[in-house]
Structure 1
Amino acid sequence: MNGFSVLLQKEWREHTRNFKMLWIPLVFIIFGILEPVTNHFLPEIMRSVGNMPEEAEFLWPEFKGEDIFQSLLGQYQLIGILVIILAFMGTISGERKNGTATLLYVRPMSFRNYFLSKWLVVNGIVLGSVWLGFMAAWYYIEILFNHVDAGAILAFVATYSLWLVFVVTVVLALSAWLPTGGAAGLAILITLIYQIIDSLIGTYWTVSPWKLSMYASYWFDSNSELSDLWMSSGLTVILIVILIVFGVFMSKRNAAKTTV
């Protein structure tokens, strides 16, 4: 069981059997399709069901493709992150509780490989799902709205992907540390509640992982200053490394709490 590839295959098979490989991408793809389609046809829908007088003029703002991408990111920031937390909050703590981890811990196993195998597979699922969702949105934006520069889109999604890697690392590190319920609650506090706090009083600081979703949209404006984005990205990478080390340590420390 020392083989890292064996642990990767275990994680891959597990998430395939519980259909996370299917339903998580579908959630992000559906939102990716609905956002541009809904915004394009919403004026017609409002005219048909709004019970407005015939002479009334219905004014609706004209959205650009860049606006749709940012609107979709807002959907992912709430619903998408909740999906990630609820889907993976028991990745490590759940194995300890149901005794599955006993089959692993009784063998000579590297806890670093154990944690990293989960980290890589979960990030693969999450990032693959998000990229598919944005690519689906891009297709309909090109049809229904305007052309958006491909380089700006890729940089936008890549920046947001770094934030999602941070979210996944937080969830897995907390799952290694706490029971499933505690991991979910603290993960919501760190990723969602603190994000709201940051948006309210975050004008006092400009470098923060919680600002990456906002800084991602800067790629759509060629005149934007990106220094804060780069510093926030660097800080996020450092925090990810620290959280990985913490997750490996807590996985090993809490191995004795596994249900037999």
Structure 2
Amino acid sequence: MNSFRILLKKEARENIRNYKIVWIPIVFILFGILEPITNHFLPEIMKSVGNMPEGAEFIWPELQGEDIFISLLGQYQFIGLLVIILAFMGSISGERKSGTATLLYVRPISFWSYFLSKWIVINAIVLGSVWLGFMASWYYIEVLFNSVDVRHVLLFLTTYSLSILFVVTIVLVLSASLPTGAAAGVAIVITLVFQIIDSLLGRYWWISPWKLPLYAAQWFQGDINMQHFWLTISVTILLIIGLILFGITMSKHNSAKTTV
């Protein structure tokens, strides 16, 4: 337990030192602020620079606050996930390559503590950033659009948070299993390409971790299928646990590949 606390402090200090604890929240907050502001002023921008024929009228759909939350989720599902992958793809593999891990492996540490300390700190940074981004967006939604039900927002964020936990776990497991470049490539395929496949063919299945963003959005629409939702939640949690166990195993297995 003492070594686990030490490793937690080490991970926290490292992410403070490399400013990830600063710039990652800033990225998510900026996108959170820009989404409602852009959607609010976009009709006026289009009218002023659209070069439309005289007498023509451009009808812009009237958006609600719930639509802005869903639109921002779409931004995070692409740009946000890329930020997560690029920021943490070398969390374990980078330490092996640089030789930093040698200083840890020569000590009597538990690979459970080693992997879980990274998992906890990274998730704290990422989930904190995502929530801050949505909270910043929520403020401008309330000012520029309409009031959104607090319960629906919290259910939306909680559901999407599990999706983020799943993605972070995949990235960290791949970093434990592969070199940094390969980990990034496979992570992009799994998180982004599979997401596209699910959006195109997902009508044939309803239980999948890639359905979590959809279920999160459905809290605003009121048509969520609770049976499919809870099965998806259960499957995702089991996959996260399985991936963590696999990541710990691969961390130990690949420790011999550490640069000395």
Instruction: Provide the TM-score with structure 1 as the length reference.
Output: 0.98
Give secondary structure in 2 for the equivalent of 1:107.
coil
Answer yes or no: is the 8 Å Cα contact 1:142–1:148 preserved in 2. Answer: yes
**Deviations 1:199-224 (Å, cap 9, x if unpaired)?**
11122211000010011111113343
Give 1:11 deviation, angstroms.
0.3
Give secondary structure in 2 for the equivalent of 1:3.
helix
Q: For residue 175 of structure 1, what is the aligned residue in structure 2? A: 175
Give 1:107 deviation, angstroms.
0.4
Give 1:228 deviation, angstroms.
1.0
Matches within 5 A, 1:182-197: 182-197=182-197
Cα distance, 1:171–1:223 mapped onto 2, change above 3 Å = closer
Count residues in correspondence: 260
Q: Could you tell me how far apart the structure 1 residues matched to 2:247 and 2:24 are?
A: 24
Q: Could you tell me how far apart the structure 2 residues matched to 1:245 and 1:171 are?
A: 14
Amino acid in the other structure paired with 1:143: V
Q: For residue 100 of structure 2, what is the aligned residue in structure 1? A: 100
Q: Could you tell me how far apart the structure 2 residues matched to 1:137 and 1:113 are?
A: 36
Matches within 5 A, 1:104-183: 104-183=104-183
Give 1:57 deviation, angstroms.
1.3
Give secondary structure in 2 for the equivalent of 1:63.
coil
Q: For residue 15 of structure 1, what is the aligned residue in structure 2? A: 15
Percent identity of paired positions between Structure 1 and Structure 2: 69
Answer yes or no: is the 8 Å Cα contact 1:2–1:108 preserved in 2. Answer: no
Amino acid in the other structure paired with 1:239: L
Give 1:226 deviation, angstroms.
2.0
Q: Considering only aligned residues, what root-mean-square deviation do their CA atoms show, in Å?
A: 1.1
**Deviations 1:155-214 (Å, cap 9, x if unpaired)?**
001100000000000000010000001111111111110111111112221100001001
Matches within 5 A, 1:11-50: 11-50=11-50
Q: Could you tell me how far apart the structure 2 residues matched to 1:175 and 1:51 are?
A: 50
Q: For residue 221 of structure 2, what is the aligned residue in structure 1? A: 221
Q: Could you tell me how far apart the structure 2 residues matched to 1:222 and 1:18 are?
A: 42
Deviates more, 1:193-202 or 1:10-19: 193-202
Amino acid in the other structure paired with 1:111: F
**Deviations 1:78-118 (Å, cap 9, x if unpaired)?**
00000000000000000000000000000000000000000
Q: Could you tell me how far apart the structure 2 residues matched to 1:10 and 1:67 are?
A: 40
Q: Could you tell me how far apart the structure 2 residues matched to 1:54 and 1:204 are?
A: 47
Q: For residue 91 of structure 1, what is the aligned residue in structure 2? A: 91
Q: Could you tell me how far apart the structure 1 residues matched to 2:110 and 2:116 are?
A: 10
Answer yes or no: is the 8 Å Cα contact 1:2–1:110 preserved in 2. Answer: no
Q: Could you tell me how far apart the structure 1 residues matched to 2:201 and 2:223 are?
A: 25
Q: Could you tell me how far apart the structure 1 residues matched to 2:226 and 2:216 are?
A: 10
Q: Could you tell me how far apart the structure 2 residues matched to 1:193 and 1:55 are?
A: 44
* Structure 1 segments unaligned to the other structure (5+ residues): none
Answer yes or no: is the 8 Å Cα contact 1:29–1:134 preserved in 2. Answer: yes
Q: For residue 77 of structure 1, what is the aligned residue in structure 2? A: 77
Q: Could you tell me how far apart the structure 2 residues matched to 1:146 and 1:26 are?
A: 25
Give 1:54 deviation, angstroms.
4.3
Answer yes or no: is the 8 Å Cα contact 2:215–2:224 preserved in 1. Answer: no
Deviates more, 1:208-217 or 1:193-202: 193-202
Q: Could you tell me how far apart the structure 2 residues matched to 1:211 and 1:142 are?
A: 28
Give 1:225 deviation, angstroms.
2.3
Q: Could you tell me how far apart the structure 2 residues matched to 1:83 and 1:222 are?
A: 31
Q: For residue 255 of structure 2, what is the aligned residue in structure 1? A: 255
Amino acid in the other structure paired with 1:102: T
Answer yes or no: is the 8 Å Cα contact 1:206–1:228 preserved in 2. Answer: yes
Give secondary structure in 1 for the equivalent of 2:100.
coil
Q: For residue 3 of structure 1, what is the aligned residue in structure 2? A: 3
